[in-house]
Structure 1
Amino acid sequence: MMLETYVAYLLVVAAFFVTPPSTSQLLIISNSISHGLDRSINTIAGDLFANAIQIAAAGLGLAAIVAASSHAFTIIKWLGVIYLVWTGIRVFRSESTGFGSSGVRTETSNWTLFRQGFFTSLSNPFAIIFFGALLPQFIASDRGLSLQILILGGTYLVVDGLTLVGWGWLGIRAANVLRRYSSRLVSRCCGLVMILAAALLASKSFAGI
């Protein structure tokens, strides 16, 4: 892979993240507010692990299968919507006493946070289609395919991870302002953010995208 090609890919990926927060980013914001940025790293890890699977699937040519199966597409999409709504309602209904002295909740396990990030990201079938469309544009057919996919996929994961950490940090800053008024308000905002993420997924389904 030529350096010019890699730089072009890096610019395309960076531009992709210069957008309003996506479903996964909204989840990171919510968990960072609720549990702190250090523990929301588990959610980020889950999200990136799901992305790694999707990149591998795209590399194996599974993007065409997902794109051609409208039933599988719809089922995966709505499972993601239901999961996010369920999580958002739980957060919305949580009591302010659920916060520790540091101002964040501590009862949710790291595994649960990881699972939230993993399933939220994995439930988005657009990701496989996206990777399946993006990666071939920067792959040289006369060079090792596996190594190129590893480099391009790894680069995406690094940029994505840094972006998610940035959104989590912004969420913490917002939480510090909100907690001056009410920790219950923080719970309400976190829950609404989660439900908004579900609405974004649902709206794409309704639009038939």
Structure 2
Amino acid sequence: MFSTNALLQMIAGFFLILLVPGPTNTLLLSSGIKFGVARSINLIAAETLGYLTAISAWGFFLLALSHSTPALVVAIKLLCAVYIAYLGWQMWPSHPTAGGVDGKRMTFASMYCVTLLNPKAILFASGIFPLAAFASAGVFFVCVACFVLTLVPVALGWLCLGASLKGGGDAPVKPALLLRCASLVLLLFSATLAYSVLMA
């Protein structure tokens, strides 16, 4: 079905794209800072489900429709940009103090939604998953298994990074400052995405 080299190339592609900072990883990082790994671990399941839903949708439906209905793709990308901007605005800590960060806990549903709208899913569906994955259940299962086995340690790494930055006033990097930087990353990501869609 797959050669060892093909599997390794696919896993490497998954790893590199998942590792790149973006909206989902930023939310994992911020949750690790605010609540630690144990209270944020369910977000990995939400991210997994969100990606698999989006990848399946793009692979089976949206990519086929994009040739005849390009406006649908534009609308989805703009919706993605708006939602990411909203999350960036929500992430900005309203009462930063020396000892902690104000903010609501990221819910399973919110993490699922932001991952569902993550543009990385389009790249996975169109560039990393082979076309055969959307025509054969066996090939699709192998690709999904490789994807999940790559996603879990990467997501856990972002949570652990956030948790390692959680601390009191003696922490070298203040959580409030890091969350503000993460908020700006999301807002910039949103603006860049919207600009690229509107100028296309």
- TM-score past 0.5 threshold: yes
Higher helix share: 1
Q: Please state if 1:201 is matched with 2:190.
A: yes
Q: Please state if 1:122 is matched with 2:116.
A: yes
Report the equivalent of 2:25: 25
- Contact map agreement 1:73 1:125 (CA 8 A) in 2: no
The two structures, once aligned, show a CA RMSD in angstroms of 3.2
Change (3 A) 1:136 1:71: same
Aligned residue identity for 1:13: F
CA distance in 1, matches of 2:68, 2:25: 28
Report the equivalent of 1:147: 138
CA distance in 1, matches of 2:16, 2:26: 18
Cα-to-partner distance string for 1:103-125 (whole Å, 9 max, x where unaligned): 687963xxx52122111111134
CA distance in 1, matches of 2:94, 2:127: 41
CA distance in 2, matches of 1:75, 1:33: 33
CA distance in 1, matches of 2:138, 2:91: 42
The runs of 5 or more residues in structure 2 that have no matched partner are none
Q: CA deviation at 1:51?
A: 0.8
Cα-to-partner distance string for 1:115-164 (whole Å, 9 max, x where unaligned): 22111111134513531332226x489xx810111110221122112101
Among the aligned pairs, what percent are the same residue? 21
Q: CA deviation at 1:27?
A: 1.2
Report the equivalent of 2:161: 170
Change (3 A) 1:90 1:6: closer
| Local SS of the residue matching 1:207 | helix
Change (3 A) 1:165 1:174: same
Change (3 A) 1:65 1:128: farther
Equivalenced residues, count:
194
CA distance in 2, matches of 1:59, 1:196: 28
| Local SS of the residue matching 1:38 | coil
Cα-to-partner distance string for 1:56-103 (whole Å, 9 max, x where unaligned): 224424323247644333333333333333333334244358x8xxx6
Report the equivalent of 1:159: 150
- Contact map agreement 2:165 2:175 (CA 8 A) in 1: no
- Contact map agreement 1:90 1:191 (CA 8 A) in 2: no
The runs of 5 or more residues in structure 1 that have no matched partner are none
| Local SS of the residue matching 1:21 | coil
- Contact map agreement 1:67 1:73 (CA 8 A) in 2: no
CA distance in 1, matches of 2:18, 2:104: 31
- Contact map agreement 1:32 1:169 (CA 8 A) in 2: yes
Change (3 A) 1:84 1:13: closer
CA distance in 2, matches of 1:69, 1:39: 42
Aligned residue identity for 2:75: I
